[in-house]
Amino acid sequence: MLRAAIAQAGLADQVRVSSAGTGDWHVGQGANPRAVRVLKEAGLATEHRARQITRAGLDEVDLALAADREHVRELRRLTPDHDKVALLRSFDPDADDDEVPDPYYGPDSGFDEVLAMTQAAAPWVIAEIRRRLGHSSR
């Protein structure tokens, strides 16, 4: 979803988006079928293979977006540059919480809620990316 938002903002030639987990539980697996359903319904890409973030991988990242505070702690253990790690929802001024709940063990509707939370944060993440790139807002 963020990749699509970045492309729509005209930043695809300047920003690379990747996704990785902090654990190795699902490495090599595709996305959860319920996540695929929600992404398809939203017209978003569904191709995905899980991978785990590494210290070297995080070194190549300018901004690492975490779903929850535990992810922030784990990511910050991998890098001395703590300013590059942020909670995704911390960018959304209307968010009721700064964490994205894990929908994996809950009802299907949890995946819809996570998509809505991510979509709500996306414009603000784009604004932060523009700021970091030194662009004015458009």
Please give the Cα distance from 75 to 2 (Å, whole number).
Answer: 19
Percentage of the chain beyond pLDDT 70 is 98
Domain ranges, ordered by start, for the chain: 2-129
User: In this predicted structure, what is the pLDDT of residue 28?
Assistant: 93
* Joined tokens for residue 35: 């996540």
> What's the pLDDT tens digit per position in 84-127?
999 999 999 999 999 999 999 999 999 999 999 999 999 999 99
Residue 3 has pLDDT above 80, yes or no: yes
State the Cα angle at 59 between 134 and 31, rounded to 5°: 95
pLDDT digits (tens, 9 = 90+) for 49-67: 999 999 999 999 999 999 9
Supply φ then ψ for residue 135, to 5 degrees. -90, 150
Tell me the CATH class for 2-129. alpha beta
Output DSSP code: residue 90. Answer: G
Q: How far apart are CA 4 and CA 122, in angstroms?
A: 10
pTM for the model stands at: 0.89
